[in-house]
Amino acid sequence: MKLLNTVLIVMACCVNITVQYNYRLPKDVNPEHYELHIVTDLDNGQPNFHGRVRIKARIILSTDRIIMNCKSLTIKKDDVHVTKDNKNADEIFVSDVEIDSYFNFLIIKFNETLQAGQVFFIQIPFSAQLTNETNGYFRRSYIDKKTGHSSSFAVTRFHASFARKAFPCFDEPNFKSVFSINLGHREKLKSLSNMPSVKILPMKNKKGWVWNKFMDTQQIPVHILNFIVFDLECVCGKLRRNISFCLWARKDNLKKFKTAKELSPEIFGYVEDYFGVNYPLTKYDMIALPKLDFDCVEGLGISILSEELILKEGDLAIDVSVIVAREFISQWFGGLITFKWWSDLWVHEGFLGYFSNVVAANVSKLYVTKRPYIQKLTFFEQLSSGMKHDNIITMNPLVELVESDNITDISKANSLVESSYNRG
């Protein structure tokens, strides 16, 4: 019931944006299911990934084209196929494939009209380099302190409009779909995604490589889809109902997860009881990564954090209770409940910032006994800080319509995040 009340409050606060801007995807096609295969090569002289996506899409309004998002991907037009079934039979003739780099559109055109109610399967192979940019699907390297050798990992950060850099997709938060994820990589590496792994199979005709197949997700927007290929170690425990809880980090840093591991079961239980809705998955992974230029990436079933944020000891461990609370809250408010468009991002960030302090104060003895004596912002100080910022005449509005023709202006919503933590 409390979760329902929270949703109603949020719906009342959110701005209803009815204007359709031309960088937005049309609403005539709805993606229902993605089957994604991605092979990641970290050891290549030029680290890269390639794969294919098969999208089950339903026609909502009759149209002669299907428009989705892609950016910085190599796509051969002749390899794009659309069929009426899932067995590559009864293919629909594709008259043209256009890539609009300004709007990040992939436009598939037909000589016939696709009728409302019909279901089609879109298959698109793609490839790209793994760059050091901190969005899309990217790569980072670090020095293994034990061996002295360089190690690498590839990880996703799709928030707000960067899933299109990993695979062709309908990259807007109002589109929710089921995802079937298959990650290919060298067998010496590990991989994770939102859902538990179903099976790991050797890759045909590629010795030393494997496919890791994951369970299907529930319907989620693409920006909370996560996957990672890496070589880290973990310590695991159990949450309620025997839910697997694993903390991943470099081996020499695992001991720094002590506070997070001890606090997590009680914080998880408090959040679940408060919302009155059971966590829907059988696992949760928290991953601490080096060399990140951001704090965290949250997705249903998985959180990716910078080492500096979560691996804290001594007096600084006090902050871990708030961070763990935030990550668990995001499983409900951000995983199960999502916003329709980025102009409502402030509600999401504001609620997480507020409620993570509430949870930590009610659960963590460390928070209650130590936090007042540490030079960190308390909740009331955060509130005061937010009001102070609001009093500045040049401060950007809390809700800002993202309406420029240039797709990169979606990042306006991201620029509001910092102030949203305190002002929201």
Model confidence pLDDT, tens digit, residues 92-127: 999 999 999 999 999 999 999 999 999 999 999 999
**200 and 60 within one domain:** yes
With 80 as the cut, is the pLDDT of residue 421 above it? Answer: no
Using alpha carbons, list the distances in angstroms from residue 34 to 31, 41, 58, 284, 292: 8, 22, 12, 22, 28
Work out the mean pLDDT of the chain and round it to a whole number.
Answer: 84
**329 and 243 within one domain:** yes
Q: Residue 357 sits in a domain of what CATH number?
A: 1.10.390.10
Rounded to an integer, what distance in angstroms lies between the CA atom of residue 158 and that of residue 181?
15
Using alpha carbons, list the distances in angstroms from residue 396 to 399, 407, 420: 8, 20, 11
pLDDT tens digits, 30-68: 999 999 999 999 987 899 999 999 999 999 999 999 999
**Confidence category of residue 347, pLDDT binned at 50, 70, 90:** confident
**66 and 184 within one domain:** yes
Higher pLDDT, 272 or 372: 272
Higher pLDDT, 190 or 6: 190
pTM of the model: 0.87
Name residue 125's amino acid: P
CB atoms within 10 A of CB 340: 14
Q: What is the pLDDT of residue 145?
A: 76
Q: What is the pLDDT of residue 372?
A: 47
Rounded to an integer, what distance in angstroms lies between the CA atom of residue 212 and that of residue 290?
24
Q: What is the pLDDT of residue 86?
A: 65
Percentage with pLDDT > 70 across the chain: 78
According to DSSP, the residues that pair with 65 across neighbouring strands are: 109
Higher pLDDT, 168 or 91: 168
Higher pLDDT, 95 or 294: 95
pLDDT tens digits, 166-225: 999 999 999 999 999 999 999 999 999 999 999 999 999 899 999 999 999 999 999 999
With 70 as the cut, is the pLDDT of residue 322 above it? Answer: yes
**239 and 198 within one domain:** no
**398 and 381 within one domain:** yes
3 state SS for 75-144: CCHHHCEEECCCCCCCEECEEEEEEECCCCEEEEEEEEEECCCCEEEEEEEEEEECCCCCCEEEEEEEEC
Peptide bond into 57 cis (omega under 30): no
Give the torsion sign (CA, 110, 114, 222, 265). Answer: negative
Q: Residue 111 sits in a domain of what CATH number?
A: 2.60.40.1730
Residue (of 341, 339, 378, 376) closest to 356 by Cα position: 378
Rounded to an integer, what distance in angstroms lies between the CA atom of residue 46 and that of residue 99?
25
With 70 as the cut, is the pLDDT of residue 382 above it? Answer: no
Q: What is the pLDDT of residue 9?
A: 41
Q: What is the pLDDT of residue 15?
A: 42
With 90 as the cut, is the pLDDT of residue 293 above it? Answer: no
Rounded to an integer, what distance in angstroms lies between the CA atom of residue 341 and that of residue 176?
12
In the DSSP assignment, the letter for residue 24 is S
Q: Which tokens belong to 246?
A: 């694993």
Of 136-150, 225-239, 363-377, 389-403, give the lowest mean pLDDT range.
363-377
Q: What is the pLDDT of residue 310?
A: 85
With 60 as the cut, is the pLDDT of residue 11 above it? Answer: no
In a domain, 6, yes or no: no
**Confidence category of residue 408, pLDDT binned at 50, 70, 90:** very low
In a domain, 14, yes or no: no
Based on the structure, what is the number of domains in the chain? 2
Helix (H/G/I), strand (E/B), else coil: 60: coil
**268 and 308 within one domain:** yes
With 60 as the cut, is the pLDDT of residue 410 above it? Answer: no
With 80 as the cut, is the pLDDT of residue 399 above it? Answer: no
Residues 401-417 have a mean pLDDT of: 49
- What separation, in Å, do the N-terminal and C-terminal C-alpha atoms of the chain show? 23
Of 11-20, 130-139, 346-355, give the lowest mean pLDDT range.
11-20
Q: Are 213 and 182 in contact (CB under 8 A)?
A: yes
Q: Are 217 and 300 in contact (CB under 8 A)?
A: yes
Examine the fold and report which residue of 178, 213, 230 is the final residue of a domain before the chain moves on: 230
Rounded to an integer, what distance in angstroms lies between the CA atom of residue 22 and that of residue 405?
7
Q: What is the pLDDT of residue 396?
A: 62
pLDDT tens digits, 349-369: 888 888 888 888 888 665 555
Q: What is the pLDDT of residue 175?
A: 97
Examine the fold and report which residue of 230, 259, 290 is the final residue of a domain before the chain moves on: 230
Find the domain containing 289 and state its range.
233-423
CB atoms within 10 A of CB 224: 23
**249 and 219 within one domain:** no
